[in-house]
Each structure stands twice: as C-alpha cells, then as structure tokens.
Amino acid sequence: MKPIVLLLSATVIVFLIAGMTDIAYASVNANGARTSPSIVTTFGDADYPVSIGDTSFTAKQLNSPVLTTTVIPGEPVMIKLLLYEDEGPQNVRHVEMYVNIHGTRTMNDSTETSIIWDSNKGTHIINPNGIISDGTVEQTIQANKVLFTFNVTFAKEFDASDVVFSAWDSHRNNMVVLVQDALEVSTAESIKERGEYSTSSISDSQLSSSIGIDVDGTSSTKSETTCTACVQIHSYEIDLYKEMFPLTVWTDLQLYDHHSTIKINGYLKPQNTIAPVLIVVTNPIGNVVTIQQLSSDVDGNFSFELNTESPLLKQDGDYILKVQSGTETRQFKTMFTLTSDPLIQPHIVPEFGSVTLLILIGSIMSILVISKSFSNRFVKF
C-alpha cells in the first residue's frame, strides 16, 4: 500500500493506493459551513468531469486505473476539469494541475511541475525540469459549473504519470482529484523500441508508420471520431497476430445492431501475464462507456461480452476498444460499429485465406474449361 500525501496550504490529504479501492477524490472544508468545489455533486453517471486528450472519465471511473494517454513532445494536448461550486461557478478562484508525478509526495512548491490558474494572478507555470514548453488555462462558465481547459505542450519525455488537480474557492475550501497513471510523454521512436502498439494522442499515421503496420480503419458509418490505427483482425489472421504482438484483441463481427451480444476475445502472451488486462471502450464522441479489468488464463486467452442494448451503447457509430497490460502501457486497439438502420443488417462477411482463394480460383477455371468443352460439341448450320 503506497500513500500519496498532498500538502496544500494547511491541509493534508492522504490517498491510500490499493488496487480497485483507490480514493480518487477528496475535499477538505476550511469553513465547516461551506462545501468545496466538487466533481460529484450535481454530476450524473453520464457526466464526465475529467478528460485527457480524446478520452473522458466519470467520477466513478477515476476510482479505477485509467488507460494511459500518450502524447508526443511538441504536440499540444487538451486536459479538462469540470467543477461544481455551491455558491456559483464564479466562486472557484484557484486551480492547479500537477504532472510528472511518480513519487509518493506532491507538494505545492517549486520542486513539482504544475500549471496554476488564479482568478487574480492569471496563469503561472512551475517548470523546474523544463518539461513544459507552453501552457495556457481557459475558464468557461457552463450553467452551474465551471470548465477549466489546460492546453499544454510538453518539451520532454516522461514515463506514465499521475495527473493531480487541486482547486479551492473564495473561502479556501479545497478539493483534490487524482487520476492514476493518466499521462505519459514519449516519442514515436521510443514507443517502437518498447514494442507498444497504440497510444491515445499520437496521430494514426505516425503510429502506423512507427510500428511498420499498414492498417485501414475507415468505417462506412459516419462518426465524430475515427481510428485509422485500429486493427480489425479476421478469423484467419488470429494466429498470425497472436504470434506477432504481445497483446491482441478482436470481435466476432465488425457491425452490430442494438439488440446484439458482442463477443470479444483477446490474447496476452504468457510471459506478459503478470499484470491484468485493462479494457476500455469509448463511444463515437470519445467518452468512456465501459472499463473492465480481466486476467488471462494460463494460455494467455481472455474474453468477455458486451450487450448492445445497454443505454451506454445507444449511439450509432464507431466504438473504439482498447486493451492495455502492464505499467509500460502495452496497448492494442480495435473497433466495431453499431447501427440502428434497419436496412443495414449485421452479417458475417466471408473471409478467404490464401488456400481457400486458390481453391476458389481452381474451381472457376474448371467450370470455364468444362463450359468450353461443351460449347465445342455444338455445330452451327
């Protein structure tokens, strides 16, 4: 059990990290008559107070490990925090975001990398290691909530890091949000050397090029996000991908209606099975709809099912399924499509391997030869 102690003003908050029982959110009131800013109050199960890159999280999902977002040095990433404050959104006066957190202590001093927004002082960056090359914070009032958007460009690489938010109101009522192993900064070359196969913020073309795979994830269904780095594995390719990659995942079909069961199978090479498999499914607009943690069997296989009648899967479009295992963010992505169009029925598309294709060609040639033989028997008068 590893404690993380955050010293903020005169407040000490202790997070006890212990697997799925992690505490991701805490608040302390400086004045007992008032409450702190919150990511829980007035938020429903379909609200997403935190987003990193293209992936958003509910407050409940922050209690579990999240899929690490990887960004390239020099490319901007957008990180958002949405807060409720009981005295009005304008009463949130100070917000901080800490990154490159790998130890057991986080302190609001000059030794930590952070971006700070203050209603009176504006934006300030504490950057002792030169990790951040540029950063801004935008405040936007959204009804009874306030959205803080951190636009950050990193100059240097760092390993998977926690992202920690701290905010307080005009009465110094303080809250802290911990997002575990949420962010890493790495070049495409480093990803290739480590044998990782999917990241959240690297462009699809860069990712495909960096690992030497030519994939086409173009979907016939229009959606707000695409995944050209997703790999859709056909049945005759499964053994090949299991041999090539340390972690793979595939679905039984590529197209489903909203009254189906999606059968998902995967494979983690036995030498890598020390860590569990984290599974994250995002909908067509990038919001997380499912997070599961599984253990593979002794042979490295794992499987689970999704019911498309779930209200979380009600949107039509392309859903991205990501799997990850281990602290080095070994990942693999695939996708499937949901449709409510009655004219588009889910079906199995015939798949032809090289042997089957040769048999088919041979059969066609035989038919042509026989047909020609019969045609020569007829005499024209």
User: Looking at the domain assignment, is residue 66 inside a domain?
Assistant: yes
Provide mean pLDDT across the span 68-74.
87
For residues 109 and 111, give the distance between their C-alpha atoms in angstroms, rounded to a whole number.
6
Contacts of 233 (CB under 8 A, 6+ apart): 241, 248, 250, 334
User: Looking at the domain assignment, is residue 363 inside a domain?
Assistant: no
Count of Cβ atoms closer than 10 Å to residue 285 Cβ: 12
The reported pLDDT for the residue numbered 331 is 80
User: Looking at the domain assignment, is residue 34 inside a domain?
Assistant: yes
Tokens of 344: 């588009």
Q: What is the pTM of this model?
A: 0.51
Within this chain, do residues 204 and 317 fall inside the same structural domain, yes or no?
A: yes
Within this chain, do residues 161 and 204 fall inside the same structural domain, yes or no?
A: no
For residues 135 and 122, give the distance between their C-alpha atoms in angstroms, rounded to a whole number.
12
Provide mean pLDDT across the span 290-315.
89
The reported pLDDT for the residue numbered 267 is 92
Q: Quote the percentage of the chain above a pLDDT of 70.
A: 65
User: Looking at the domain assignment, is residue 323 inside a domain?
Assistant: yes
The reported pLDDT for the residue numbered 250 is 95
Q: Is residue 130 scored above 60 in pLDDT?
A: yes
Within this chain, do residues 122 and 261 fall inside the same structural domain, yes or no?
A: no
Q: Is residue 328 scored above 60 in pLDDT?
A: no
Print the domain residue range for 169. 2-185
Picking from 24, 112, 105, the residue whose alpha carbon sits closest to that of residue 64 is 24
Q: Is the dihedral of CA 99, 67, 26, 51 positive or negative?
A: positive
Within this chain, do residues 180 and 221 fall inside the same structural domain, yes or no?
A: no
What is the 3-class SS of the chain, one letter each residue? CEEEEEEECCEEEEEEECHHHCCCEEEECCCCCCCCCECCCCCCCCCCCEEECCEEECCHHHHCCCCCEEECCCCEEEEEEEEECCCCHHHEEEEEEEEEECCCEEECCCCCEEEEEECCCEEEEECCCCCEEEEEEEEEEECCEEEEEEEEEECCCEEEEEEEEEEEECCCCEEEEEEEEEEEECCHHHHHHHCCCCCCCCCHHHHHHHHCCCCCCCCCCCCCCCCCCCCCCCHHHHHHHHHHCCEEEEECCCEECCCCEEEEEEEECHHHCCCCEEEEEECCCCEEEEEEEECCCCCCEEEEEEECCCHHHCCCEEEEEEEEECCCCEEEEEEEEECCCCCCCCCCCCCCCHHHHHHHHHHHHHHHHHHHHHHCCCCCC
Q: What is the CATH number of the domain that holds 202?
A: 2.60.40.1930
Picking from 309, 304, 306, the residue whose alpha carbon sits closest to that of residue 340 is 309
The reported pLDDT for the residue numbered 241 is 86
Within this chain, do residues 177 and 206 fall inside the same structural domain, yes or no?
A: no
Overall number of domains in the chain: 2
Mind listing the pLDDT tens digit for each residue in 231-248?
A: 888 888 898 888 888 889
Split at pLDDT 50, 70, 90, the class of 62 is confident
Whether residue 241 contacts residue 211, with contact meaning beta carbons closer than 8 Å, is answered with no
Higher pLDDT, 289 or 377: 289
Provide mean pLDDT across the span 10-18.
33
Mind listing the pLDDT tens digit for each residue in 330-357?
A: 688 999 999 988 766 554 444 444 445 5
Q: Give Cα 327 distance to the centre of its chain.
A: 15
The reported pLDDT for the residue numbered 224 is 36
Which one of 27-41, 159-173, 359-373 scores highest in mean pLDDT?
A: 159-173
Q: Is residue 9 scored above 70 in pLDDT?
A: no
**What is each CA distance from 196 to 186, 191, 244, 267, in whole angstroms?**
11, 5, 12, 15
Q: Is the dihedral of CA 56, 121, 164, 91 positive or negative?
A: negative
Within this chain, do residues 210 and 163 fall inside the same structural domain, yes or no?
A: no
**What is each CA distance from 176 to 25, 83, 240, in whole angstroms?**
6, 11, 46
Higher pLDDT, 367 or 263: 263
User: Looking at the domain assignment, is residue 167 inside a domain?
Assistant: yes
User: Looking at the domain assignment, is residue 372 inside a domain?
Assistant: no
User: Looking at the domain assignment, is residue 235 inside a domain?
Assistant: yes
The reported pLDDT for the residue numbered 3 is 37
The reported pLDDT for the residue numbered 352 is 46
Within this chain, do residues 157 and 217 fall inside the same structural domain, yes or no?
A: no
Which one of 75-84, 176-185, 277-286 scores highest in mean pLDDT?
A: 75-84
Picking from 284, 317, 323, 283, the residue whose alpha carbon sits closest to that of residue 303 is 323
Q: Is residue 198 scored above 80 in pLDDT?
A: no
Which one of 31-35, 79-83, 266-270, 336-340 scores highest in mean pLDDT?
A: 79-83
The phi-psi region of residue 253 (left if phi > 0; otherwise alpha if psi is between -120 and 50; otherwise beta) is beta
Q: Is residue 308 scored above 60 in pLDDT?
A: yes
Which one of 27-36, 60-69, 207-216, 268-277 scores highest in mean pLDDT?
A: 60-69
Whether residue 71 contacts residue 201, with contact meaning beta carbons closer than 8 Å, is answered with yes
**What is each CA distance from 329 to 124, 186, 212, 300, 371, in whole angstroms?**
31, 11, 19, 18, 59
Whether residue 63 contacts residue 90, with contact meaning beta carbons closer than 8 Å, is answered with no
Contacts of 339 (CB under 8 A, 6+ apart): 221, 255, 256, 257, 316
Split at pLDDT 50, 70, 90, the class of 108 is low
Within this chain, do residues 115 and 252 fall inside the same structural domain, yes or no?
A: no
Cβ burial 187-222 (10 Å sphere, 16+ → b, else e): bbebbeeeebbbbbbbebebbbebbeeebebebeee
Q: Quote the percentage of the chain above a pLDDT of 90.
A: 35
Whether residue 341 contacts residue 333, with contact meaning beta carbons closer than 8 Å, is answered with no
Q: What is the CATH number of the domain that holds 33?
A: 2.60.40.10
The reported pLDDT for the residue numbered 37 is 93
Provide mean pLDDT across the span 84-101.
93
The reported pLDDT for the residue numbered 27 is 56
Within this chain, do residues 220 and 345 fall inside the same structural domain, yes or no?
A: yes
